[in-house]
Structure 1
Amino acid sequence: MTDDTQQASPQAGPRNLTTLIAQVQQAGRRREDVSLEAILDAVGRRSFAPFLLIAGLVTLAPLLGDIPGVPSLMASLVVLVAAQLLLGRRHIWLPRGLLRRRVSRERFVRVTDWMVRPARWVDRLLRARLVWLARPPAHLPVALTCLLIGLAMPPMELVPFTANGAGLALTLFGLALLAEDGLMAMLAYLLTGGTLTMVVIGLA
C-alpha cells in the first residue's frame, strides 16, 4: 500500500511494456484466481502509466475485453485514476469492490503469455521524442482526455469496435507516459477524437 509522503506520478514505475507485463505476471501467483488489487500491487500504485496500460490492454486482449461488462469495469478504473491525478492526490485510491474483481488463473496466464511477444515488438518502437507531449505538465491533458474516454466507454459497448479504439487509445497514452514518447501521445489524441466521433454517430 502507498503512503501520503509523495504525490502520485504519471511516469514512475516500469519503463517499458515488457517489464510491466513481467510484473503483472507475478500477481497472485499462489491463488487460483487473480484480483485487480493483486495486479495493481504488482506494478505499484503511484504511477499513472501502468494503470492506463492495464486498462487499455485488458480492453484489447482476447478472452478479457470481449467479456460483457469488462470495458465498463476498466472505464471505472480509468475515471477514478484520471480524476485523482487531475486533483493532485498524493496516492491513488480505489474502492474495495473494484479491487476485489477477479479473473481465473488459467485465463490470466493465457492472456499475459499472449501479450509477451507483441510487447517486445512495441518496445522496439518506443523512444523519447516530442517529450513535451509526455512529460509534466503534459500529463494533465492526458488525464483529462482519459477521463473523457472512461466516461464514454460504457455506451461504447453498444457501438461495435469503439471499445477497442478506446482500449488502444489508453494503451498509447500509457506507453507515451511510460517511455516519454510524445508521438504515441499524439496518435492517442487522434485516435480518441476518431473513436468518440464514431460513438456519437453510432448513438445518434
Structure 2
Amino acid sequence: MKPPPSAPRSLTSLLDTLDPDNPATGADRKRRDAHNGLTIQAMLDRVGGRSFGAALLVPALILVSPLSIIPLMPTIGGLLILTIAIQAFFGRKHLWLPKFLASRRLSGDQLTRAVQYLRRPAAWLDRKSRDRLRFLSAPPMDRIALLAVMVVAATWPFLEILPMFTSVSAGGVALVAFALMVRDGVILIGGYTVLGGSLAVVVALISGLV
C-alpha cells in the first residue's frame, strides 16, 4: 500500500506538487496526469489530506493568481476554503469534500500559469518565514485564525463582481494558512491585517447600501 504523501513544508514545495512541468514532485511523467489538468481532489491528495494548512493554501493560492478572474472561481474557492476551515476548526483528522467541489478541474495550462505567477512571491515568503511567536498558531489560538478565514471566505460569493478584492482577500487567507503550516506568528499577524482590511471594505460596502 502506497504511503500517503508527506505535507509540503514550504510554499515552493507546495507549488512543486501542483506543477505540470515538475513531474519529479508532482505529475506522473508516463501518464502526464497533471498536464491534462487536475481536479481539486487530486490537488489536495498531492498535498496530503491531513494537512489542513496546506489544503487551505491550494484554493487560496489559486485565487491569488490570475485565475481568480474565471467566472464563479471566487465562489468555488470560498466554498472550498469554508469547507476545509470548518473541518479543521472542529478537529477533523481527515479532509472530506463534497463531490461537486472535489470534481472541479483546472487544465494543465491554467495550473502552469498559476504556478509560474506564484513562484517568486512564494520563494520570498519561504526565505522570510521563521519559527516565531509560535503560540499564536498553536492550539487553541489557531481556532481564531480558522474563524477569521471562515468569516472572510463567506463574503466572496457575494463579491464575485470584485475579482481584485477577492485576490487581495485570498492573499490574507494564504498568509494565515502558510503561517499555520510553518508556525510563524509574525506572518500570521500579517494575514490578520489583510483579513481585517478586507472585512473593513465589506462593512463599508454594506453601510453604503443600507
Normalized against structure 1, the TM-score is what? 0.87
**Further displaced range: 66-75 or 152-161:** 152-161
Partner of 1:24: 18
Matched, 1:187 2:186: no
> Helix, strand or coil for the counterpart of 1:14?
coil
State the distance in 2 between where 1:104 and 1:34 align. 7
Find the aligned partners of 1:17 and 1:160 in 2 and give their Cα distance: 23
**Residue in 2 that maps onto 1:14:** 8
Match of 1:60 among 60, 64, 67: 64
Q: Which string of whole-angstrom CA distances, capped at 9 and with x for unpartnered residues, describes residues 152-186 of structure 1?
A: 11122244632122211111001111211101111
Letter in 1 for 2:54: P
Paired residue total: 192
Structure 2 unmatched ranges of 5 or more: 1-5, 20-25
Q: Look up the match of 2:138.
A: 135
In structure 2, the CA distance between the partners of 1:131 and 1:65, relative to structure 1 (3 Å rule), is same
- The question of 1:82 aligning with 2:85 is answered yes
Using the alignment, how far apart are the partners of 2:109 and 2:136 within structure 1?
38
Could you tell me how far apart the structure 2 residues matched to 1:156 and 1:27 are? Answer: 34
Instruction: Describe the superposition over 1:14-67 as per-residue Cα deviations: whole angstroms up to 9, x where unpaired.
Output: 2111111112222574252221111111111111111221122111101x1111
Question: What CA distance in whole angstroms lies between the structure 1 residues aligned with 2:73 and 2:117?
Answer: 18
1:201 partner letter = A
- 1:199 pairs with one of 198, 202, 205: 202
Unpaired runs of at least 5, structure 1: 1-11
| 8 Å contact kept, 2:74–2:163 | no
Bigger relative contact order (CA 8 A; separation at least 6): 1
The equivalent of 1:51 in structure 2 is 55
Aligned residues: percent identity?
Answer: 33
CA distance in 2 between counterparts of 1:160 and 1:19 reads 27
Partner of 2:22: none
Mapped to 2, the partners of 1:164 and 1:121 lie a distance apart of 18
Residues 72-81 or 87-96, more deviating: 87-96
* RMSD of aligned residue pairs (Cα, Å): 1.8
Query: What do residues 115-170 of structure 1 show as CA deviations (whole Å, max 9, x unaligned)?
Result: 22322122111111111111222221111111111211112224463212221111
- Is 2:74 the partner of 1:71? yes
Counterpart Cα distance in 2 of 1:39 and 1:193 = 29
TM-score scaled by length of structure 2: 0.84
